[in-house]
Structure 1
Amino acid sequence: MSQTKRYCYSCDLKDDAQLIEEYKEYHAPGSVPKEIIKSIKDAGILDMQIYLTGNRMFMIMEVDDSFDPARKAEMDAENPEVQKWEKLMWKFQQALPWAKEGEKWIPLDQIFQLP
């Protein structure tokens, strides 16, 4: 029986209102290139949502049993369309202050679950 699992991540945008608006336009419905959507789904990601407050983003992913973050990173590294998209997105994004070298989206630790 297949189960879904949730992953949550955070990343900052550059604190520039014009860049934030442009980033939002790139992520408006129908705006993300189909190759990027395909790469996300091919990795076992069933649903992905990004929320924004100020310049801090939160990404929530629901994944199936086939999802492996390391495998997704390998798939992305080998996909020229994903690399092109990531390079473009880095124009808008910046690492969280506590991120390690090369880290972009940082996993969030769950600290509460409604009983």
Structure 2
Amino acid sequence: MIKIKPEGLEQYKAYHANPLPGVNEMIKECNLKNYSIYQRGDYMFSYFEYDGDDYEADMEKMAADPTTQHWWSLVKPLMQPLDDRNEGEFWSDMEEIYHLD
């Protein structure tokens, strides 16, 4: 979960309507699937399923990717991390309260 800056919403949507080449491929290469981002007002919620063996290593791989770094340089300035986020978080994790398969 994260806030979107009101003045950044349309640009954020435009970026995600046409991601940079390589961004979606890196997400898949890092074992994320069924990745979605939802918006309600100023809040963005992401959902994904991780299908790998080492989440931390896959996230480090993604963070080291030059294309991903460029992508983040475009979209991060449009977002506003939550005040109560945990140390080291940009997007704030949420606790799952209910799940049904």
Q: Percent identity?
A: 30
Higher strand share: 1
- Structure 2 unaligned blocks of 5 or more: none
For 1:55-74, list aligned pairs within 5 A.
55-66=42-53, 68=55, 70-74=56-60
- Answering whether residue 76 of structure 2 is matched by residue 105 of structure 1, we say no
CA RMSD, aligned part only? 1.9
Q: Which residue of 1 aligns with 2:36?
A: 49
State the 4+ residue runs in structure 1 displaced beyond 2 angstroms. Answer: none
Structure 1 unaligned spans of 5+: 1-9
> Which one has a larger percent helix, Structure 1 or Structure 2?
2
Question: What is the CA distance between 1:34 and its match in structure 2?
Answer: 2.5
TM-score under structure 2 length normalisation = 0.86
Task: Output the CA distance in 2 between the equivalents of 1:51 and 1:14.
Answer: 15
Change (3 A) 1:67 1:60: farther
Q: Count residues in correspondence.
A: 101
